[in-house]
């Protein structure tokens, strides 16, 4: 019996995306399914896209030429949107990967998701929040950079508003350098706190304990969320840092009951 692997179409806004991150983008998307369609859009006569030209063949990406018919108008966005709608109705896909830092794709993402498909977004930290929040899952490209590519870290804030933050101090460790949002900032993010608490509550048993895997699944159904956007490799690291939840210590804690790591809202323990 064969199992169906999700089929994903990757559409890249080459005008607004760094070519140097394509390896990391493909690696992330491969975790979600098979990338059957790979297309990059832009005016390939532009010197601005020379970096993309160098990687197209290596990663089997089809370049889609789009001339700038009118100065100041982004014809690439329109071409991507038209192609996406064609693919949505003519191909049997399970999801889309959209690489761009442009909010113009927000209505497209919402339309695709309304048809029951997932959308995995990738963009730089300048990406407007409406696009970020519209995706099934969104990852900032800065969080995917390899250690040798990482530049001055930037604090990520996925709250209601986005304000520039000063570079945070990086402590030398054996792990890849990453900027972790501190506990006070995490607790001050009302949207994040409510999301975590409600997700734990939805998956909790009578004693308030919820499996971390079930919590993660509940979060993914309602929000574009990834712990790495806050500087944490795993969801349990974020829960530990925020300080509002109990997590059993050790792999063989009795509270795991063989079901994996459990988490509980500290407010429940005090009741």
> Is there a domain that residue 63 lies in?
yes
Summarize pLDDT for 23-55 with one digit per residue, the tens.
Answer: 899 988 988 889 999 999 998 888 889 999 989
Residue 22 belongs to what H/E stretch?
helix 22-30
Measured at the alpha carbon of residue 94, what is the angle toward residues 88 and 96, in degrees to the nearest 5? Answer: 65
Higher per-residue confidence, 224 vs 164:
224
* Last residue within a domain, chosen from 144, 170, 199: 144
Q: State pTM to two decimals.
A: 0.67
Q: Burial of 65 by CB count in 10 Å (0-12 exposed, 13-18 middle, 19+ buried)?
A: exposed
> Is there a domain that residue 195 lies in?
yes
Query: Residue 118's closest CA among 5, 215, 11, 8?
Result: 8
Query: Residue 105's closest CA among 128, 88, 124?
Result: 128
Task: Output the pLDDT for position 8.
Answer: 95
Q: Give the tokens for residue 109.
A: 């993402």
Whether 36 and 95 map to the same domain: the answer is yes
> Is there a domain that residue 169 lies in?
no
Contact 76, 15 (CB under 8 A): yes
Whether 137 and 259 map to the same domain: the answer is no
Q: How many domains does the chain have?
A: 2
- Backbone φ, ψ for residue 118 (5° rounding): -90, 150
Contact 168, 184 (CB under 8 A): no
Task: Output the pLDDT for position 175.
Answer: 35
Query: Which domain does 65 fall in, by range?
Result: 7-144
Residue with tokens 């969320």: 225
Whether 11 and 138 map to the same domain: the answer is yes
What stretches of 19-110 adopt beta strand conformation (E)?
34-42, 62-65, 95-99
Q: How many CA atoms lie within 13 A of 46 on its CB side?
A: 15
Find the CATH number of the domain harbouring 201: 3.30.420.610
Summarize pLDDT for 185-241 with one digit per residue, the tens.
Answer: 888 888 888 889 888 888 888 888 888 888 888 887 766 788 888 888 888 888 888
């Amino acid at each position: 019996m064969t199992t169906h692997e999700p089929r994903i179409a990757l559409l890249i806004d080459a005008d607004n995306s760094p070519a140097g991150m394509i390896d990391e983008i493909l690696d992330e998307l491969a975790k979600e399914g098979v990338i059957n369609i790979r297309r990059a859009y832009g005016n390939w006569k532009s010197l601005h896209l020379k970096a993309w030209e160098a990687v197209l063949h290596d990663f089997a990406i089809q370049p889609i030429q789009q001339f700038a018919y009118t100065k100041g108008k982004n014809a690439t966005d329109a071409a991507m949107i038209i192609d996406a709608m064609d693919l949505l109705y003519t191909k049997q896909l399970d999801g889309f990967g959209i690489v761009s830092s442009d909010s113009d794709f927000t209505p497209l993402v919402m339309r695709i998701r309304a048809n029951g498909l997932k959308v995995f977004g990738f963009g730089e930290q300048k990406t407007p929040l409406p696009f970020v929040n519209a995706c099934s899952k969104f990852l900032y490209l800065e969080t995917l950079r390899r250690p040798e590519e990482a530049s001055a870290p930037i604090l990520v804030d996925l709250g209601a508003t986005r304000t520039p933050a000063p570079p945070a101090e990086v402590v030398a460790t054996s792990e890849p350098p990453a900027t972790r949002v501190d506990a006070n900032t995490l607790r001050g993010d009302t949207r994040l706190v409510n999301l975590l608490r409600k997700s734990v509550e939805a998956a909790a048993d009578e004693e308030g304990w919820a499996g971390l895997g079930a919590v993660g699944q509940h979060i993914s159904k309602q929000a574009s969320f990834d712990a790495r956007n806050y500087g944490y490799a795993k969801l349990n690291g974020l829960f530990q840092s925020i300080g509002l939840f109990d997590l059993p210590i050790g792999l063989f804690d009795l509270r795991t009951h063989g079901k994996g790591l459990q988490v509980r809202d500290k407010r429940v323990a005090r009741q």
